[in-house]
Chains A and B, each alone.
Chain A
Amino acid sequence: MVPLLRVEGVSKSFRGLLALNDVSFDVVERGIAALIGPNGAGKTTLFNVIAGVFRPDRGAVRLGGADITGRRPDQICHAGIGRTFQLVKPFAQMTVLENVTVAALHGARSVAEAKAAARGFLELLELDTRAGQHAANLTLPDRKRLEVARALATGPRLLLLDEVMAGLRPSETDRMVATLRRLRDETGLTILLIEHVMRAVMALSERITVLHHGEKISEGAPERIVRDPAVLECYLGDQEP
């Protein structure tokens, strides 16, 4: 079976700094995979390569078998990848509902249709009570939820989530985990998430890829990863995950 996402030998450097070094991994269709690693490991950079923000120096990104390397971010969205930003990027002067409507317009024929769809996503992410607020006035956890709602509203096949649970309380994390799992089960969405909150990583992911200094140092089922000496060492050398 062809994996939905295939990252093939991707390298990317910034002015001499090797942020990604020959990274390869797959995400299967309807799978939930996690990308972990210490700060500065290159996780966000890898997302940006997949999402078309950076063109990799070497290597390729394939979605459902098609080479999507070097396409623009908007084209990547059309190809079926939705992404969130670690440093949240709300449309500050627009309301929460309008933020998500922009995203829902991607697959809608009219503004009214997009608005109706957007309301559904707000409900899903527990943002419905904030619909009329300006996004600039949201708390950080709500902004993270808005990121997810917006990415989902574009109707992606693959969802890239960059630390969306940072700052959520444990009970909120659990609800987000349940929501994402349900989405996968009901809609067949594939999810790749970057997360430091191990509670969420362990609860959600079926497969984990570990990056350290831009290199893949381990990969496998969660139970195996938490016992991998190489992984433990890279985290001990840094701070707590």
Chain B
Amino acid sequence: MKAIDLFLSPLSAAGRWLGAVLLVVLLLLPYWGSSYVMTVATTVFYLALVGQSWNLMLGFAGLLSIGHALFVGVGAYASAYLFSAIGLPPAIGVVPAVALAVLIGLLIGYLGFRFAIGGVYFALLTIAFAEFVRIVVDHVPWLGATEGFFLKVSAADRHGIDLANLRGAPEMYYYLIMALALGALVLCRYLLRSRLGYYWQAIRDDPEAAEALGINLLRYRMYAVAISSGMAGVAGVFYAFYQNSLFPEIVFNIERSIEATLGSIVGGVGTLFGPIFGTFILTPLGEFVTEGIDLLKHWRVIDPETKLDGLKLLVWSFIVVLIVLFKPTGLWPWVCHRLRLTRPGAEG
């Protein structure tokens, strides 16, 4: 109950109503949404989870990660491998998988923060490690190398609910990722209100002043990296068992890392709900663009042979440029203010 209270307290009456209606709509989505809508909605919540993890690092603690796909990918490959090799169900495999993601995060954090004050080294290390791991996985035969790593699924697996093995109907995946994304939101809200959150924000705004107030910079930065990479690792486990196929070129692609940042940038870096809000705008929009192109090709308005794969990213990039130019703090604080979704003085 306390968690729910913590969660609702900043919302105005209007905010609570809107939140409740949205929640009901999203909970009932499987009853009227087509399988296509379900796929998009599942992707939205998945990206919202990854986005929140990224936002925790930069928005809360001031640490820029541009290789977030690494933590997701490590969680995905580790859990998938353990499942295939020794039959470890992902419900248990999530523990070592997340531990490995956290460990790698801590290693990068230690190298980045121990020997240099500036956060630039950390940012560069995240991307360097992501690339490094991608190339390593590319060459490891027992992880499928470039040909990819596949999880066995039978037709029977696509029905029912087997949470321990992450096997079941599309609705199961949808509700699971929704619960994970909303769970992350509650966790973030709790953390932000705790000692940890206060220290992170202080470090984000001015590390030197934070240190003068007795805050051990290395320790609290490491906590941020650990929790963030852990959240990304959980998302990775979900990804592995939702997709059932992992390719280093896709999983560790820098595009995945950039994708992880866009929702937060559009919604508002450092806000609680911004990453989710931003993903809810960008992902359906990207789908709209992709579908629109397919339709135009179908109607022969444009030549079906034209390659327009990059268009979605182009549209996203354009939106991000607009946001950075005109609403640099993101859309969510502005929407909150406009629709009076939060009580005065409370943050979103």
Question: A residues touching B (Cβ–Cβ < 8 Å)?
Answer: 51, 53, 72-74, 77-78, 82-83, 85, 89-94, 98-99, 101-103, 105-106, 111, 114, 132, 150-151, 154
| Bound: A98/B213 CA distance, A | 13
- By the criterion CB–CB under 8 Å, are A91 and B270 in contact? no
Q: Which residues between 208 and 230 of chain B lie within 8 Å of chain A, taking CB atoms?
A: 208-217
Q: From B66-74, B122-130, B154-162, B193-201, give the one contacting chain A.
A: B193-201
Q: Are B213 and A111 in contact (CB under 8 A)?
A: no
Distance A5 CA – B208 CA, assembled complex (angstroms): 23
A102 touches B212 (CB 8 A): no
Tell whether, in the assembled complex, residue B211 and residue A72 are in contact, meaning their CB atoms are under 8 Å apart. yes
| Chain A CB within 8 A of B206 CB | yes
**CB < 8 Å neighbour of A78 from B198, B206, B214:** B214
Chain B: CB-nearest residue to A78 = B214
Q: Which of B193, B195, B201, B214 contacts A74 (CB 8 A)?
A: B214
Which residue of chain B lies nearest to A136 when distances are taken between CB atoms in the complex? B205
Contact check, A94 vs B205: say whether CB atoms are below 8 A apart: yes
Specify the chain A residue showing the minimal Cβ separation from B217. A74
Q: List 7 A-B pairs, Cβ < 8 Å.
A: A74-B214, A74-B215, A89-B209, A98-B198, A101-B198, A102-B198, A102-B210
Q: Is the CB of A89 within 8 A of B208?
A: yes
Q: Report the minimal beta-carbon distance from B198 to chain A, rounded to whole angstroms.
A: 5
A77-B194 in contact (CB<8A): no
* Pairs A-B, 4 closest by C-beta atoms: A77-B214, A89-B209, A91-B205, A73-B211
Establish whether residues A91 and B209, one from each chain, have CB atoms under 8 Å apart when the complex forms: yes
Question: B residues engaging A (CB < 8 A)?
Answer: 193-195, 198-199, 201-202, 204-206, 208-217, 270, 345
User: By CB atoms of chain A within 10 A, which of B193, B195, B217, B270 has the most?
Assistant: B195
Q: Decide: A105 near B195, CB < 8 A? Known: A94-B202, A132-B345.
A: yes
Q: Is the CB of B212 within 8 A of A85?
A: yes
Contact assessment for B211 and A74 in the assembled complex, using a CB-CB cutoff below 8 Å = yes
Q: Which chain A positions have C-beta within 8 A of B209?
A: 85, 89-91, 150
Find chain B residues with CB under 8 A from A74 CB: 211-217
Establish whether residues A83 and B202, one from each chain, have CB atoms under 8 Å apart when the complex forms.
Answer: no
B345 partner residues in chain A, CB cutoff 8 A? 132
Q: Which of B195, B206, B215 contacts A89 (CB 8 A)?
A: B206
A93 and B208 contacting across the interface, CB-CB below 8 Å: no
| Cβ B213 vs Cβ A93 within 8 A | no
Interface of chain B: mostly helix, strand, loop or mixed: helix
Decide: A111 and B193 in contact? CB cutoff 8 A: yes
Q: Which residues of A contact B270 (CB under 8 A)?
A: 93
Return the contact of A51 from the options B201, B204, B212 (Cβ within 8 A).
B212
> Are A93 and B205 in contact, with the CB atoms below 8 A?
yes
Nearest A residue to B329 via CB reads A93
B300 CB, nearest partner CB in chain A, Å: 52
What residue of chain A has the Cβ atom nearest to residue B195's Cβ? Answer: A105
Residue with the highest number of chain B CB atoms closer than 10 Å, among A74, A94, A105, A106: A74
A93 contacts B201, C-beta separation under 8 Å: yes
CA distance A241 to B216 in the complex (A): 37
Note all chain B residues with C-beta closer than 8 A to A114: 198
Q: Which residues of A contact B208 (CB under 8 A)?
A: 53, 73, 85, 89
Candidates B193, B205, B212; contact of A83 at CB < 8 Å? B212
How far is it, in angstroms, between the C-alpha of A102 and the C-alpha of B217 when the chains are bound? 14
Q: Indicate the member of A82, A91, A94, A151 with the most B CB atoms within 10 Å.
A: A91
Chain B residues within an 8 Å CB radius of A98 = 198, 201
Choose among B208, B213, B216 the residue with the greatest number of A CB atoms under 10 Å from its CB: B213
Cα(A111)–Cα(B201), bound, Å: 14
Minimum CB–CB distance from B13 to chain A (whole Å) comes to 21
A221 to chain B, nearest CB (A): 31
B335 to chain A minimum Cβ distance, whole angstroms, is 19
Cβ of A93: which chain B residues have Cβ within 8 Å of it? 201, 204-205, 270
Do the beta carbons of A94 and B201 come within 8 Å of each other? yes
The distance in angstroms between the C-alpha atoms of A72 and B204, with both chains bound, is 19
Q: A91 CA to B216 CA in the complex, in Å?
A: 16
**A77 contacts which chain B residues (CB < 8 A)?**
211-214
Give chain B nearest CB distance to A13 CB in angstroms.
20
- The interface residues of chain A lying within 8 Å CB-to-CB of B215 are 74, 102
| A73 CA to B203 CA, complexed, in Å | 14
Chain B residue numbers with a CB within 8 Å of A132 are 345
Asked if A111 meets B194 with Cβ closer than 8 Å, knowing A85-B212, A150-B213, the reply is yes
For B213, list chain A residues within 8 Å (CB): 74, 77, 102-103, 106, 150, 154
Contacts of A82 in B (CB 8 A): 212
Q: Across the two chains, which residue of chain A brings its CB closest to B199?
A: A102
Closest approach, in angstroms, between the C-beta of B2 and any C-beta of chain A? 13
Do B212 and A91 have beta carbons less than 8 Å apart? no
Assuming the contacts A72-B211, A85-B212, A102-B213, asked whether A91 and B195 have C-beta atoms less than 8 A apart, the reply is no
B212 A111 Cβ-Cβ under 8 A? no
User: Within the assembled complex, what's the spacing in Å between the Cα atoms of A89 and B199?
Assistant: 15
- Chain A residues with CB below 8 A from B210, complex form: 91, 102
Measured between beta carbons, the chain B residues less than 8 angstroms from A105 are: 195, 198-199
The answer to whether A111 touches B198, judged by C-beta atoms less than 8 angstroms apart, is yes
A73 & B195 in contact (Cβ 8 Å cutoff): no
Given contacts A111-B194, A132-B345, contact A91 B211 (CB under 8 A): no
A229 to B197, CA, bound (A): 53
Closest chain B residue to A93, Cβ basis: B205
A92 CA / B201 CA spacing, docked (Å)? 10
Please give, as numbers and ranges, the residues of chain A lying within 8 Å of B201 by CB-CB distance.
Answer: 91, 93-94, 98, 102
